[in-house]
């Protein structure tokens, strides 16, 4: 049921009882469905969107374009799996255009990111080149604006 | 009032809106939780807002032609054809108005002669009765009943038709009941309208919020098509209430007459808002879909919760309101709402704000976040425990 996934994508903290009411379904059926999705990796995980800047926690983040050559029998998949396992890598996607992979990398500071690129990513067999762009500020993440759009927006209490 | 005797006596005796009265009470209190609004809770989708900004930046701030921008009228007609299978010509059959509200006014002023009767199914949106009276017409109420799922039945309609009947107001999906009319429901009343040459003034502002099946416009019935006048707008489908953009779709002769009133009283709808509306009508189908799903989910939720706390509520098939009976409390609706506001700080709208037929009911809007709905339900539950 696509509608259930869409709801959970927006808010992973919905209680099953609320999801059932919203979808006009039985609680057990919804519970079962979620478990199936989790088992089949349709739901691969749940996480919280944190505005670290507001939490006053310093983190460094970079977007890295990676150039690489595909392997004859595995294409890009094997190389992708190797790079993706590094805990610094928040996301990894195969893209069209001037690079093959786009990574978002997290670390506590810039030096750690430099070390990651210099000692782990760049020397990886199959990687031909990297281009690292440090993130200066985040405005929107996973569909959520960090600036509250509703601030100061009010509706009248009672209208026809 | 020092001018009571001097002013227009029709205006003098128009009942002030019951909603207004209730709003005034609610506004005096602090921290009120409300399920009382008649507008969606989404901020207008950004691509639409951005188009309004762009229009201002580009200096598109002059008057438009009286009927509205040709591209908008074309977009509106394409939209009706695409979504409801009704074909109109943007050049001849459409006027862009300042919200559906203006459309209601100029349509009724156009078709009514003094003393003409207008059949008004009630409970109804607050503006119809007042506008009918201000246009010189006479309101003939026909009560929509909960046991008929607030549909207009042929039996009820026949009973109120007279020689003076000029028009019937149709508002399906409806405010405040959430009732809808399907193709088959309309099929039963269309022959009656045809036989008596009655105008069908159909306010379809909630068309996109039809939860079972697709919205049916009465304009699909060719045999009465010349006397169908569609009123619609951008407020509810695209969450654009504050832009005040609506429209009329009707026979070209009706449009020409409505245009006389429109050109002298309004000139044209706000220009940057018309540009925003073009973007909405041409590229907003996905927004409609997203908001539709969200409203349907909240409808499911609130109906289940209201039944759980003992307020028997049927599942409305349209709009974003539920209209439950409060008979179990033995209270009149105004007393119910005033006490609820006083004791729980929760604002609902008393049913009689929508006509006497709404006595014994309250209107609950679910155009609120789930957290707000939850909080309101818990207050309502606490209240009902005391008074049932």
Residue B208's pLDDT is: 98
Residue A154's pLDDT is: 85
| Chain B contact set for A6 (CB, 8 A) | 293
Question: Which residues of A make CB contacts under 8 Å with B?
Answer: 3, 6-7, 18, 21-24, 149-150, 153, 155-160
Which residues have a Cβ under 8 Å from the Cβ of B197 and sit 6 or more positions away?
A: B227
**CB within 8 Å: B22 and A159:** no
Task: Indicate whether A1 pLDDT > 70.
Answer: no
Lowest mean pLDDT among A144-148, B39-43, B147-151, B215-219: A144-148
Task: Indicate whether A27 pLDDT > 90.
Answer: yes
Q: What is the mean pLDDT of chain A?
A: 94
pLDDT (mean) for A137-143: 90
**CB within 8 Å: B37 and A157:** yes
**CB within 8 Å: B23 and A156:** yes
Alpha helices by DSSP H, B31-98: 46-57, 70-84
Task: Indicate whether B25 pLDDT > 90.
Answer: no
Task: Indicate whether A24 pLDDT > 70.
Answer: yes
pLDDT (mean) for B259-275: 98
| Chain B contact set for A15 (CB, 8 A) | none
Best of B297, B320, B352, B373 to disrupt the A interface by mutation (most A CBs within 10 Å)?
Answer: B297
What residue in B sits closest to A150 (Cα-Cα)? B43
pLDDT digit string, tens, across residues B341-365: 999 999 999 999 999 999 999 999 9
d(C-alpha A156, C-alpha A6), whole Å: 30
Question: Which residues of B make CB contacts under 8 Å with A?
Answer: 17, 19, 22-23, 26-27, 32, 34, 36-39, 41, 43, 125-127, 175, 293, 297-298, 300-301, 304-305, 347, 349, 370
d(C-alpha B127, C-alpha B320), whole Å: 18
pLDDT digit string, tens, across residues B168-181: 999 999 999 999 99
pLDDT digit string, tens, across residues B50-64: 999 999 999 999 999
Residue B350's pLDDT is: 95
| Residue ranges covered by each domain of chain A | 2-39, 60-141
pLDDT digit string, tens, across residues B107-145: 999 999 999 999 999 999 999 999 999 999 999 999 999
| Per-position DSSP letters for A39-86, written without gaps between them | HTTSS--------TTTTT---EEEEEEEEE--BTTTBTHHHHHHHHTS
Q: Helices A16-23 and A27-39 sit at what angle, rounded to 10 degrees?
A: 110
Residue B162's pLDDT is: 98
Quote the ipTM score.
Answer: 0.85
Given B38, B127, B297, which is nearest A23 (Cβ)?
B297
Query: For residue B135, what are its two tokens?
Result: 């246009």
How distant is the Cα of B14 from the closest Cα of chain A, in angstroms? 17
Task: Indicate whether B308 pLDDT > 90.
Answer: yes
**CB within 8 Å: A160 and B127:** yes
Q: Are B116 and B164 in contact (CB under 8 A)?
A: yes
CATH topology of domain B46-283: 3.40.640
| Residue ranges covered by each domain of chain B | 9-44+286-387, 46-283
Task: Indicate whether A74 pLDDT > 90.
Answer: no
Query: For residue B211, what are its two tokens?
Result: 């939860």
What residue in B sits closest to A22 (Cα-Cα)? B297
CATH topology of domain A60-141: Alpha-Beta Plaits (3.30.70)
**CB within 8 Å: A159 and B36:** yes
**CB within 8 Å: B19 and A21:** no
pLDDT digit string, tens, across residues A52-66: 989 999 999 999 999
| Chain B contact set for A22 (CB, 8 A) | 297-298, 300-301, 370
CATH topology of domain B9-44+286-387: 3.90.1150
Task: Indicate whether B17 pLDDT > 90.
Answer: no
pLDDT (mean) for B23-34: 89
Alpha helices by DSSP H, B116-208: 127-134, 154-160, 183-195
Element (H, E) at B385: helix B370-387
| Chain A contact set for B125 (CB, 8 A) | 160
Query: For residue B245, what are its two tokens?
Result: 């953009």
């Amino acid at each position: 049921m696509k509608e259930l996934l869409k709801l959970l994508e927006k808010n992973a903290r919905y209680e099953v009882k609320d999801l059932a009411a919203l979808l006009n379904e039985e609680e057990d059926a919804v519970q079962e469905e979620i478990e199936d999705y989790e088992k089949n990796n349709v739901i691969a995980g749940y996480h919280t969107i944190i505005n670290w800047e507001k939490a006053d926690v310093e983190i460094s983040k970079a977007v890295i374009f990676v150039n690489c050559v595909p392997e004859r029998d595995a294409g890009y998949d094997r190389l992708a799996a190797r790079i993706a396992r590094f805990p610094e890598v928040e996301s990894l996607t195969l893209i069209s255009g001037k690079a093959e992979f786009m990574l978002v990398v997290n670390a506590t500071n810039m030096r750690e990111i430099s070390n990651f690129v210099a000692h782990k990513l760049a020397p990886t067999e199959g990687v031909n080149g990297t281009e690292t762009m440090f993130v200066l500020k985040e405005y929107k993440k996973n569909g959520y604006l960090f600036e509250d759009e509703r601030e100061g927006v009010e509706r009248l209490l009672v209208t026809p | 009032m020092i001018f009571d005797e001097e002013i227009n006596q029709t205006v003098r005796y128009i009942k002030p809106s019951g909603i207004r009265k209730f709003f005034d009470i609610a506004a005096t209190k602090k921290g009120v939780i409300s399920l009382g609004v008649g507008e969606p809770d989404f901020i207008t989708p950004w691509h639409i807002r951005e188009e309004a900004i762009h229009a201002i930046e580009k200096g598109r701030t002059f008057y438009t032609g009286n009927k509205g921008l040709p591209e908008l009228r074309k977009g509106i007609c394409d939209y009706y054809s695409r979504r409801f299978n009704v074909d109109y010509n943007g050049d001849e059959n459409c006027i862009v108005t300042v919200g559906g509200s203006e459309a209601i006014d100029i349509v009724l002023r156009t078709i009514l002669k003094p003393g003409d009767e207008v059949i008004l199914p009630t409970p109804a949106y607050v503006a119809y009765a007042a506008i009918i009276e201000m246009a010189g017409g006479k309101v003939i109420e026909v009560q929509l009943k909960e046991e008929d799922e607030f549909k207009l039945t042929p039996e009820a309609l026949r009973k109120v038709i007279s020689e003076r009947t000029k028009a019937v107001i149709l508002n399906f999906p409806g405010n405040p009941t959430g009732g809808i009319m399907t193709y088959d429901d309309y099929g039963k009343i269309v022959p009656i309208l045809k036989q008596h040459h009655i105008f069908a003034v159909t306010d379809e502002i909630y068309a996109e919020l039809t939860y079972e099946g697709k919205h049916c416009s009465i304009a699909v019935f060719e045999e009465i098509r010349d006397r169908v006048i569609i009123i619609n707008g951008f407020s509810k489908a695209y969450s654009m209430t504050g832009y005040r953009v609506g429209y009329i779709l009707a026979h070209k002769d009706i449009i020409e007459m409505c245009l006389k009133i429109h050109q002298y009283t309004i000139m044209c709808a706000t220009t940057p808002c018309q540009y925003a509306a073009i973007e909405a009508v041409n590229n907003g189908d996905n927004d409609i879909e997203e908001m539709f799903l969200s409203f349907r989910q909240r409808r499911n939720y609130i109906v289940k919760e209201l039944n759980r706390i003992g307020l028997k509520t049927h599942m409305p098939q349209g709009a974003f309101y539920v209209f439950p009976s409060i008979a179990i409390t033995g209270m009149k609706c105004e007393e119910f709402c005033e006490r609820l506001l006083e004791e729980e700080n929760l604002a609902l709208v008393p049913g009689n704000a929508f006509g006497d037929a709404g006595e014994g009911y309250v209107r609950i809007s679910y155009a609120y976040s789930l957290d707000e709905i939850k909080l309101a339900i818990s207050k309502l539950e606490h209240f009902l425990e005391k008074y049932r």
